[in-house]
Every structure is written in C-alpha cells, then in structure tokens.
C-alpha cells in the first residue's frame, strides 16, 4: 500500500523510541510555566469569532443553520490552534493564519457531518448533541458538508492578506490534497472496506494517517506556509503534526473503550460494536498506551530545532492530546 508523502512508518518510531530523550528534556527546560489552558482558550475565542463571521445566518436559512450547527458546536479547536501556533513558530503574525485556521475547521466540520451519516459511521450523538443529520435530515446534512468544504477554499483564497500569492496557492494546494483521494477520502474508503475484517498494523496506520492525522498535518503545514516558513521548517512541522495526529487517534481508540458516552459526549464503544480494528484491539490496551507515549516523544523531537519559547504551545499541545480524557 503506498505511503503518504514524507511518511515515516510508526514501526520505525517504535524502534527509535528512546532517541532524543535528552533533546526533549532541553526543550522542556524553561517552558514549564506555559499555560496551555489559557492559550487554547484565547485562540479558541479568536477562531470562534472568525468562524461566526465567516458563516452568517442568511438565506437560505436552513442550510446555513445546518452549517453553523456543526461548525459552531464547540470542540477543542485543535486544528486551527495548530495552524496559528505553527505560523507564530516560524516568525509569522497569527492574523495571517486565521483564514487557513478557519478553513481547517470547516473541513473538519464537513468530515464530522459526513462521517456521522447512516451510510458511513451511522452515529446519532456528537459533542453531546444530536448529529447534524438527526437535527436537519440527511439531505440537508450532506449539502451542509459540501458547502463547508467549498467555503474552506474560498475563505483561504479571498480572506488571506499580507501573504505572497504563491504561498496562498501553496496552502490551497495543501488543503486540496488533504481532502482528496490521497487524503481524508483515502482513509475513509479503506476504513469502510476494512469493517468486519482483521487488518494489520500497516493498514490501520494507513487509515488513521489519512483519515485523522492528515488534516492536523495540513493545519500545521498551512500555518507555517502563510507564516513564511522555509522548506525545512515546513517539513519538520509536517512530521510533528503527523505524529500528533496519529497520537490523537490512538488516544481516541483508548478512550472509546475506557470511557462512557456521557464522559465522551459521543457514543462510546462504537468501534467495538461495529467490529472495527483499533489500536487497543490490535496491540492491547497497555501497548496502545505505550505507543501513544512513543508518538508524543517523536513529536517533541521534531520541535527540538525551533526556538523553545515559540515552540511551547506545540510542545504542550502534544502532551495535552496524549493525556486528554475526552
């Protein structure tokens, strides 16, 4: 099975899991006082205001209500925060990254709407509320997802200012490859084809590096692109975000079997009920937790060459994702 661009197989990560521990300690030195909770709350407010303005409630009202229902339903805003933090890490001003940050959340909202449909994951609950198709009907939900996807590209092209045109085009191209047949769609189709079947670690990695990690990767990469990052910086952030994205999925799999629906705000045990292969199922719960720690350390390694203060948000974000309980 072909690997995504620049993909570093997780088996290699496991083999090198103790490499870079000293570098990680150096990275941690001097940034212990960083307050991630305050940082994420501040950035989330900025993103929420921008998203609210990007999708006003107007005619035809039903489609915009449906778009806003999922887009403004809260959530951690990890993807847009990744974009903003990556922009600042390479020396850019966060204001230039707000459009790409919003675009990643629009694409994410689209993926949630479509993933929850009866023909996909068939879920009734998302963030503690009825899923979009339950609230508005399948027809409207599909159209809302389509509208959010197209708006994401329009928003980057029309709203990005103070950035050279070739970099805006680069970011648009990155987002396009993220969604398409070598990105989210690839992960989704292989995931669907694998239901009820025994799959190995290679296939499971393929699914989640595409279905989950690819959009987090795009968020970090696009933030670095519009922030003026060089090729080396962009690729290091790509590798960092790929590890964080896969880490996000491993932790999601762990929470799915260790938490209740009330604690998660979505249907717990859904993967097990649908016979999907997950990391706890394939590796066992303890090994899955060990794998999550390995991915966190690898993500830290990719930040070692950056300014420690500027890297603090991304360093702590990796820890947050590894230790989250919802």
| 23-61 residue pLDDT tens | 455 555 545 688 999 999 999 999 999 999 999 999 999
Residues 6+ apart with CB under 8 A from 232: none
Please give the Cα distance from 43 to 243 (Å, whole number). Answer: 22
Average pLDDT over residues 233-241: 97
Task: Band the pLDDT of 264: cuts 50, 70, 90.
Answer: low
The pLDDT of residue 5: 40
The candidate with the shortest Cα–Cα distance to 72, out of 112, 126, 109, is 109
Q: What are the tens digits of pLDDT across the range 115-143?
A: 999 998 888 888 889 999 999 999 999 99
Average pLDDT over residues 284-304: 93
Whether the per-residue pLDDT at 307 is higher than 70: the answer is yes
129: part of which helix (H) or strand (E)? strand 129-130
The pLDDT of residue 262: 64
Q: What percent of the chain has pLDDT over 90?
A: 71
The pLDDT of residue 33: 80
Q: In degrees, to the nearest 5, what angle opens at C-alpha 184 toward C-alphas 238 and 178?
A: 45
The structure's pTM equals 0.86
| 3-class DSSP state of 43 | helix
Write a three-state SS string for 160-189: CCCCCHHHHHHHHHHHHHHHCCCCHHHHHH
Average pLDDT over residues 73-91: 95
The pLDDT of residue 141: 97
The pLDDT of residue 6: 39
The pLDDT of residue 170: 98
The pLDDT of residue 183: 95
Whether the per-residue pLDDT at 271 is higher than 70: the answer is no
Whether the per-residue pLDDT at 278 is higher than 50: the answer is yes
The pLDDT of residue 301: 95
142 burial (CB, 10 Å; 0-12 / 13-18 / 19+) is middle
Could you tell me which CATH class the domain 16-323 is placed in? mainly alpha
Average pLDDT over residues 168-181: 97
Task: Band the pLDDT of 8: cuts 50, 70, 90.
Answer: very low
Q: What is the chain's mean pLDDT, rounded? A: 87
Task: Band the pLDDT of 277: cuts 50, 70, 90.
Answer: confident
Q: How far is CA 3 from the centre of its chain?
A: 19
The pLDDT of residue 171: 98
| Domain parsing of the chain, residue ranges | 16-323
Q: What percent of the chain has pLDDT over 70?
A: 84
The candidate with the shortest Cα–Cα distance to 221, out of 75, 55, 89, 70, is 89
At 97, list the tokens: 């990254």
Task: Band the pLDDT of 268: cuts 50, 70, 90.
Answer: low
Least confident of 48-57, 215-224, 262-271: 262-271
């Amino acid at each position: 099975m072909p690997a995504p661009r620049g993909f570093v197989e997780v088996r290699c990560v496991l083999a090198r899991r103790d490499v870079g521990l000293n570098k990680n300690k150096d990275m941690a030195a001097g940034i212990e006082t960083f307050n991630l909770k305050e940082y994420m709350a501040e950035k989330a407010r900025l993103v929420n205001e921008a998203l609210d303005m990007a999708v006003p409630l107007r005619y035809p009202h039903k489609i915009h209500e449906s778009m806003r229902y999922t887009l403004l339903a809260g959530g951690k805003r990890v993807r847009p925060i990744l974009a903003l933090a990556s922009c600042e890490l390479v020396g850019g001003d966060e204001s230039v990254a707000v459009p790409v940050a919003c675009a990643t959340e629009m694409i994410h909202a689209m993926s949630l709407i479509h993933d929850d449909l009866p023909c996909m994951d068939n879920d009734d609950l998302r963030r503690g509320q009825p899923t979009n198709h339950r609230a508005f009907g399948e027809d409207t939900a599909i159209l809302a997802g389509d509208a959010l996807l197209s708006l994401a590209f329009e928003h980057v092209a029309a709203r990005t200012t103070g950035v050279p045109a070739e970099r805006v085009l680069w970011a648009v191209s990155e987002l396009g490859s993220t969604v398409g047949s070598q990105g989210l769609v690839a992960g989704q189709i292989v995931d669907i084809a694998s239901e009820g079947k025994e799959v190995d670690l290679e296939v499971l990695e393929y699914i989640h590096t595409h279905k989950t990690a690819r959009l987090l990767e795009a968020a970090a990469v696009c933030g670095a692109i519009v922030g003026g990052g060089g090729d080396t910086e962009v690729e290091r952030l790509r590798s960092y975000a790929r590890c964080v994205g896969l880490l996000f999925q491993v932790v999601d799999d762990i929470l799915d079997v260790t938490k209740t629906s009330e604690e998660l705000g979505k249907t717990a045990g859904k993967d097990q009920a649908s016979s999907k292969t997950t990391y706890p199922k394939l590796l066992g719960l303890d090994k899955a937790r060990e794998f999550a720690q390995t991915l966190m350390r690898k993500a830290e390694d990719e930040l070692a060459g950056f300014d420690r203060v500027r890297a603090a948000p991304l360093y702590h974000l990796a820890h947050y994702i590894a230790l989250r309980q919802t």
